[in-house]
Amino acid sequence: MTEETSKPIPELTVAIAAYNERATIMQVLERVIAVPVTKQIIVVDNCSTDGTRELLTDVDDSVEVIFQPRNLGKGTSIRTAITHARGEYFIIQDADLEYEPEQYPRLLSYAREHDLDALYGSRVMDGRNTNYVGYYFGVQALTWMTNVLYGARLTDVATACKMFRTSVVSKLNLRGASFDLDFEVTNKICRDNWRIDEVPVPYHPRTFDEGKKIRSRDGLSAAYVIIRDRFIE
């Protein structure tokens, strides 16, 4: 038995895609490490140029760091992390702390209690955050498209707080390279009838001045992916 296969299976693999996140990367790692669940932490750096890479060369030994040779996009980073995942569940954690790592135990408990294959943290359930970053109506339009085309009952398809059973997400044949992966993975979870649900989560949006990277054009790409995966793929 090799050292890798003899390791106990963590409850959670936490995947962090980072590009120019010097201001927050160490704080997010500190908070993720402190969460009381057994976990594998994978950071994929997308060839940052602001000093993030240098900080990641000196992180805790419990953190696995993968340095991309160039900026290959968030989606590629998440797909890379999936290929290295050992946890029972796999969760995406943005490096900017818009979502709280402290929610992991609650998400894990809910997913296990309801035997879910995917669990999303919704920013808008119970009337939360309906004015976030001016993107509310665009996100609701994309959510409506997903619900109509895939028979889903989601409230926030664009949330970055997405958790999956690792054995499920690893077999979805994902190919998205950028933010489109957020929608592709949902399309395939719903299309293939995996069990999915949502719970409300706190959300702390940052501004473009603070480094937010998603743009309006990403919404058009998302709409295309939603239609593509339903009618073309």
pLDDT for 131 equals 54
What pLDDT was estimated at residue 217?
74
Mean pLDDT to the nearest integer, 69-94: 97
Closest CA relative to residue 42, chosen from 96, 5, 78: 78
What does the DSSP 8-state code read for residue 130?
T
Three-state DSSP at 206 gives coil
Structural domains in the chain? 9-231 (3.90.550.10)
Q: Could you tell me the two tokens for 116?
A: 């879910």
Residue 1's pLDDT band, with cuts at 50, 70 and 90, is very low
Provide the pLDDT confidence category of residue 43 given band limits of 50, 70 and 90. Answer: very high
Rounded to an integer, what distance in angstroms lies between the CA atom of residue 122 and that of residue 161?
8
Q: Give the closest residue to 46 by CA, choosing from 219, 204, 177.
A: 177
Question: Could you tell me the pLDDT band of residue 3, with boundaries at 50, 70 and 90?
Answer: low
Tens of pLDDT along 184-232? Answer: 999 999 999 999 999 999 998 866 555 444 566 778 899 999 999 999 8
Q: What is the mean pLDDT of residues 46-68?
A: 96
> What confidence score (pLDDT) does residue 48 get?
97
Does the pLDDT at position 17 exceed 60?
Answer: yes
At residue 125, the 3 state secondary structure works out as helix
